[in-house]
Structure 1
Amino acid sequence: MEPLLVFRFLLLLLLVAVASGAPAPDGDLYYNASMCHKPFTCGPNVDIHYPFHLANESSKVLDGAVPSSSYCGYPGMAILCSANNTATLHLGNVSLYTVQGIDYANKTITLADADTLLLPSATCPRVNRNVTIPKSPASMLEFSAADTGYLSFFFGCADPRPPPGIVPINCTTGFFDDGSLPSYLAPTADAPEGDWFVRASCKEVYVAPVLKRLLLSPEVYGRLGSDGGYGELLRQGFRLTWDPSAGPCVECERSRGQCSYDQGGGFLGCLCSDGRVRTPDCGAKKGDTKVIAIGLPVAAAVLLLLLLVVSFLYVRKRRQYKTTSSSRLLKHTASGGTPRSRCSSNDLESGGSVHNLPTHLFAYEELEEATDGFSAALELGDGGFGTVYKGQLRDGRVVAVKRLHNKSRSCRHVGQFVNEAAILSRMRHPNLVTFYGCTSSRSRELLLVYEHVPNGTVADHLHGPRAPERALPWPVRLRIAVEAASALDYLHAVDPPVVHRDVKTSNILLDTEFHIKVADFGLSRELLDGGGNAAHVVATAPQGTPGYVDPEYHRCYRLTDRSDVYSFGVVLAELVSSKPAVDVGRDRGDINLAAMAVDRVQRGLVGELVDMGIGYVEDGETRRMVTMVAELAFRCLQQDGEMRPPVREVLDVLRGMQREGGKVEDGGVPRSPDTVHAPWDSRSTTPSVSQ
């Protein structure tokens, strides 16, 4: 950062400190403090206090200046405590819901339909309304995206052939008086495959929110349409959240005040601890002026000292840069004969965030010598825009060298090379391929250097050229799943998060001990917003390999970490079935392995999916774990990204199965001699163009 910019930034901080420290003038309105600071308990487990308030205690809070129906608390958060000590809350003017609990630390409230709670536990309640939350300013409550799943109910449907993903309701007890017409439910807020079916065929459609963690649990998911299935979900309720920063109350609460609103949701003022009413906040207390008068000069001196230190460090860094211009570090630019000035930030996936990441710089001549002049005899694989060669460096290390094709030296392909180098240079994980470095931007060719992983890919051993040698036993497949999930969990947890975007079995390499290394980061993307900050989603054109690409990514052009979860679900299906992700030789409905896996698990026909060579029939424990992995793949392959579990949860489930099944014995791992060099397929192809 330039010294002038640093100075302006620090000056701005000083001005903000002065402005925020200035005491506010005293207000001339007062309120009844006893009403706003009194907590109340309704029943055994519902503690009611700010920002909630008792519905029957709204009164003339502010002295003479506001209507008599004002209260202290948030709009839409009035709780009624009945004579039998049951806490209830209205959503809108009609719907009444029972309060199951309030978590003030996480700012959530759990509600359940009051009518549903009155029914016996084994019945199937008849849902007859949608849950509607009044919009701000009438209410500050909203659905908690992290905690909320949805059940869509379709009653009295004329078409007996529902789309995939819709479950028939086969309850023997309940309130389904629709004559002979069937009813269905689906674990999503919309019909899974087109709402024409719902509009044309069903008499009624309702959507009920439920707790997502219960909805996604295998125990509940498998019996949604039977007695005691979805009814238990409805009785457990759903979760709403409130966000103080979403309304005008944030400044008031920062000053330790409490907010007052009228019945229409209009903000009236900030109720302060001294009994006064101020707007927008409580300002400085008496006696704070002296502290501010002393503190501001001190703060100014500290900021000035900080400015001098930053300026000194900047000058020293500039001098060091001039003396180390010939050092063996590559500042990531578009190399390989394509000047960066000719490549836009859209061509380089990593944008402007990777230019200063250093990595080891190799001389082109050293790598040419290591690969015997890029000999065809040492070729490991030929991808869509690059060839991978085996080589041996002068220090004895065996490496894999990726070389960009002459015909592929477009900005986009160079950008993918640079992107891969930038991301891998800062990653260290036992299940990620180790990146050793690359050539200079002034080199005649751009070359990337990795560790050599000698035992082919997982795809080779499942359904490729290595499959006939010996089928991978189930414990090895489970370990592959655990290690691959661990690598993805690491990528999603770094700051900023990284989405691999091309997770597939041909990008998962195996060493001689059958431990894995995830490779090929050319399409990977840091999740950053326009300001360079970590984000949960970015907008970009879909890329990846057919059969593995998240369908929601294709529909919405929104990339999230759940896109990797979908691709990993396909990998799990391959580990269970030994089938490729796409096979036009299969029946039309089974060409896509993801669709085939979802169909078989949904219909309880996991046996039709499984490779019988892994002990599914002979060993009961193996059958149980294989079924659990297939069900986990089903969860990962949900069309709605929000319905998929995060990769950390997937990893925890897989590790739990691995602990139960015991570790792989050395004798159970098929060995592979170091002299066998299987091709490394580094292709990541799609007709789409990424931003």
Structure 2
Amino acid sequence: MGAPALLLPHVHSIIILFFLLVFVPISHCEDDEYYKQCFTPFQCGSLSNLSYPFLSDERPEFCGFQGFRLRCLEGPIPIITIKNQEFYVNFVNQSERVMTIARKDLSENVCPPDVAEIPNTTLKETLFSYVPELENVNLFYNCSNEVKMIPTPYKISCAVNDEQRDAFYATDELLRKWNQDPSDCNIRVEVPVPKVAVEQLSGGMEALRKVLREGFNVKYMFDTITVCHGCENSGGICGSNSSTSGFTCLCTDQSNSYTCPKGNDKNVGLNVGIAVGAAFVGGAIMCAIFYIYQRRHKRKTYAPSSFVSQSTTSYFSSNSDTEKGGLYFGVFLFTYAELEEATNNFDSAKELGDRRFGTVYYGKLRDGRAVAVKRLYENNYKRVDQFMNEVKILTRLRHQHLASLYGCTSRHSGELLLVSEYIPNGTVADHLHGQRAKPGALPWQTRMKISVETASALAYLHASDIIHCDVQTNNILLDNKFCVKVTNFGLSRLFPVDVTHASTAPLGTPGYVDPEYHECYQLTDKSDVYSFGVVLIELISSMPAVDFTRHPREINLSNMAINKIQSRALHELVDHNLGFELDYAIRRMVTAVAELAFQCLQAEKETRPSMENVLEALKEIQSKG
């Protein structure tokens, strides 16, 4: 049958919904008991105003999310268990989904009674991830020989079975500097600490204790976080279903689902108004259905929800792909065994980094190609949609500054893997304020080149009706000549060219998210423009987008930049290694880029330039420079 026949079941559903809205009476009752129990935030030790996803011993299970239980009664500092390790929770910022945790065992005793039982710190395959502003401190125990070449402040005196054994601590950089071989030590424990605290470690054992007690920041993520925002916007409270442990939205009228019904009110006088409104809405929906059909009949456009579901279905049911050598949307299909061999059985030593939906590994194919293999988390309910979205998008794109997709696993492999070209020189974040950052190593002309090439890739995406949704310096890769490759399109959205925005659940990374989008979840290409404005400020300042060691009003780099630019204090923002004070040409270019970034960071999307205009402006600044 044609499109009208396919549309008919949806029309019937709308008609049924229409009659339900008009004729089903609205119940009136007291607030739901679950709603009342979870409505009030709770205090846990020194932390106050806590709510979903956190739980406490005295708070019902349905008020929180598994994995976020806090123990509050053992002292002033709450305790959380992550992968069988206990951590003190020193601080929580629920709006940014960041908390500061410290290992309980090492905070209490740097020399535990049984050093053989000290595990490494790991957040792998948990709901938590490290922030970029961390560095590992290595604690070496049970050293058989006297530790030589180690400065006294870094030595630890620990007794093992009443016998004094040498121990010491050091960062990776110090180990290289000392040329120290720690193989004489039986136990090596890695503990993340903030980079800003590394200098304090030279103060000896007490300084080490202090740094370990203060802990480190982690981001937390859970599958239902995007649904939770929609629940709260509908007037509900986020919670869990006590029988299934899945997400539920707790509403005042017990109509718990994913959102609360609009207009739910205990005032009987509103019933007639609601019924009339429902009749109007029903008629409007009927008109909209036929309007949408006519539009789609005339021209084909991309509809995110439909293409994802259809693609997912075809992925699991199609008989056209083969175990090896077949094509899927024009993409080569690898076997799981082939990629397992390429990554040495997904060796942790080959990890390139953790992403929101999976871990990326370095691999080498049998034909000699170096690749990046993205392994989607097994426990993520979005993994299939995300996988299909990324494959669908990447196969449409051809641009010199976008990472190329080589292939993916077939439906027979049982695990979702993406294979793309390996970009060897790390991310822009690495070079600005990460592992590869060195003062003066990334000169202004290189940063200018990075900004132009990134803008070129994003302008191409927007011209292809694609929004990246997660523009950040961690998603901008560099090759050995510092040429840009934008990557990680797992969050991208395709939408019709004649639609001005797409309403979605919250996406993106804290510090880069468009404030207007964060408020109303209306996604536009101007959301990418805002995020790119943050990237420009990072290139100017060499500072991370979010840093909790800064003043509270300057934790978000975008806020700091706007304040500095408005108060004519740009020199306080610019990385002093760029020559801003000494070179007039550089000062003029940096100032022009800062003014452009300021336009991108405007709160209202209508006042921001398009990505195409941003690219033109950057090219002009570069040419004049």
TM norm structure 2 = 0.48
Bigger proportion of residues as helix: 2
For the pair shown, the structure with the greater C-alpha radius of gyration is 1
TM norm structure 1 = 0.44
Larger RCO: 1 or 2 (CA < 8 Å, sep 6+): 1
